[in-house]
Amino acid sequence: MWSGAAVTFIGAALLAAAAAAPERLTVDTHLHVTMSQAASPIFKGEPGSGVLTWSPRNVLLNQIDADQLLAAHEQVAVAALWPSFRLRPGRRAIDEALHQLEGLREFCRRQPQFAMVKSAAEAREVVAHGRIALIPAIEGGEGLDSVGDVDRLYAAGARSVTLMHFADTQLGGAASGQLAYNLFKQLGVAPNPRGLSELGHAVVTRMLQLGMLVDLAHASDETSTEVLDEAEKYGSLVINSHGGARAFLPMERNISDALAARIAKLGGTVGVTSSQVQAAQVPEAAKWEGYVVGSCDDVVAHWKHLAEQVPPEQLTFGSDFNGFVKRSAAGGSCEHGVRNTGDQPALYSALVAHGVPAQAIDRMGWRFLEVWEAVEKKADPTARDEARDAKKRPSSPFDVAM
């Protein structure tokens, strides 16, 4: 039993944290803070290392700085971990994911402005103390060969999984034509008819039971539809962390109006990327006087379009900073383009100037935490206890319970 003094102390602490919570809170739903670890030695630098690119065309140098994030009121970010090239001797994909989760934990030890969080409540506490809450996410489910692997990721701290990346996996179908467009700008590839596999259905169900965020970025339309069906039956919701509008750039990797609307109807969020590969090909009817192609005007136009399909407050910024993507050049509505996280305030000002409600920008971080809380509320406590039980997880040097 709690004593009266303890209850009073806890209540006072909660009130103090609530009072310290900032009114403005933005979010990045796809931020690669530890890419220098994932893609060593190709990628250089991380937040706090002193390396920061000032060129929107340089995709191999760090683009993230903690002070810049705080200046943009960004104290919540989904920290995307990419179990990259199969060049790690002795590590399977699941091992690499677990290894990178430990790498993220170590990064937060080195850089105290950041904190790795495992619940929305923890994120709120971190924000109240003026730090940046990082929600650990695995980009690509290649390592998930069983439901037990989901438990292993959860026990190690992962709270989101982007089910697919560039190719089909044992979980199901990825968006078609991604590499063809990235490498050769080839469009017109037919949608991938493949949806979730039997294992994919089981993985999605387990993630919902654990209160993890299911991310549909990179998934085929059929996979996305089947995941939404699962989430709807379970009474939960999902996100799409980063992408552009397919109505402008017609490739399956970009989100269709219909899928965006369905995600929003369930209560989830849709992230808009800073990538000039995806936020491109804006039709003349969607441009304005002084519009500059290749500038942040392209990102603004994609965002504006999606804000007409879903409530604007259900859109987030999914920058893909440090994700090997070219960003907006100088000109148009952003004087310097989108070089690094320091240009986010200018991008947000451009969005407001072109009709996106300021409140939708200023409070998207709070809205995202509400989404996460809604997913957590549907979690099964028994499933969480099972996932946390180290005895039920296969022994591996990369398994680290959080």
pLDDT in tens, 327-376: 999 999 999 999 999 999 999 999 999 999 999 999 999 999 999 999 99
SS3 341: helix
Query: How many residues are present in the chain?
Result: 402
pLDDT of residue 181: 80
pLDDT of residue 357: 98
pLDDT of residue 90: 72
pLDDT of residue 3: 47
Q: Where are the alpha helices (DSSP H) in 29-167?
A: 35-38, 66-71, 93-110, 120-128, 147-155
Average of per-residue pLDDT across 41-65 = 97
pLDDT of residue 389: 87
Q: Which two tokens stand for residue 105?
A: 């934990």
Q: How do strand 114-116 and strand 132-139 relate by DSSP bridges? A: parallel
The closest alpha carbon to 361, from 301, 322, 292, 313, belongs to 313
pLDDT band at 7 (very low <50, low <70, confident <90, very high): very low
pLDDT of residue 394: 55
SS3 381: helix
CATH fold of 23-392 reads TIM Barrel (3.20.20)
Angle at 328 (CA atoms; ends 323, 333), nearest 5 degrees: 140
The closest alpha carbon to 163, from 140, 136, 147, 145, belongs to 140
pLDDT band at 86 (very low <50, low <70, confident <90, very high): low
Pick from 68-82, 106-120, 381-395: least confident: 381-395
Checking if the pLDDT of 391 tops 50, the result is no
pLDDT band at 397 (very low <50, low <70, confident <90, very high): low
pLDDT of residue 373: 98
Checking if the pLDDT of 43 tops 90, the result is yes
Checking if the pLDDT of 248 tops 90, the result is yes
Span 157-192, pLDDT tens digits: 999 999 999 999 999 999 998 988 877 788 878 999
Checking if the pLDDT of 71 tops 60, the result is yes
pLDDT of residue 185: 80
User: In sequence order, what are the residues at sequence separation of 6 or more whose Cβ sits closer than 8 angstroms to the Cβ of residue 278?
Assistant: 243, 244, 249, 253, 254, 302
SS3 275: coil
pLDDT of residue 145: 95
Task: Tell me the DSSP string of 2-18.
Answer: --HHHHHHHHHHHHHHH
Q: What are phi and psi of 369, to 5 degrees?
A: -65, -35
Domain map (residue ranges) of the chain: 23-392
Give bridge partners of residue 79 from the DSSP assignment.
Answer: 31, 136
Checking if the pLDDT of 395 tops 70, the result is no
SS3 27: strand
How many CB atoms are located within 10 Å of the residue 89 CB?
A: 4
Please, how many CA atoms are within 13 Å of residue 53, restricted to the half-sphere of its CB?
A: 23
Classify the phi-psi angles of 364: left when phi > 0, otherwise alpha if psi is within -120 to 50, otherwise beta: alpha
Span 193-245, pLDDT tens digits: 999 999 999 999 999 999 999 999 999 999 999 999 999 999 999 999 999 99
pTM summary value: 0.92
Angle at 196 (CA atoms; ends 202, 184), nearest 5 degrees: 140
Cis peptide before 357 (omega within 30 of 0): no
